[in-house]
Amino acid sequence: MRADRLRLLDAVEQIELISQFSQQGREAFFSDILIQSAVLHRLALLGEACRGLSPARP
């Protein structure tokens, strides 16, 4: 199992890539299937990274 630190680094990397892919704005996203695919793929990877984190402790 990967450590939480590595999963958080994975999450940050995905967020940075999503930000890069979406720089052209909303119109470019909705008109370009490649941008849509790239962003949606990275969102799925972000979800996987976050899903594997340990539960929060009080």
Q: What is the C-alpha to C-alpha distance for residues 50 and 28, in angstroms, rounded to an integer?
A: 27
Per-residue pLDDT at 57: 75
Per-residue pLDDT at 56: 79
Indicate whether 58 belongs to any domain: no
Q: Which tens digits make up the pLDDT trace of 34-54?
A: 999 999 999 999 999 999 999
**Domain tally, the chain:** 1
1 pLDDT band (50/70/90 cuts)?
A: low
- Full residue range of the structural domain in which residue 27 is found: 4-51
Indicate whether 21 belongs to any domain: yes
Indicate whether 57 belongs to any domain: no
2 pLDDT band (50/70/90 cuts)?
A: confident
Q: Which tens digits make up the pLDDT trace of 14-27?
A: 999 999 999 999 99
Q: What is the C-alpha to C-alpha distance for residues 57 and 44, in angstroms, rounded to an integer?
A: 25
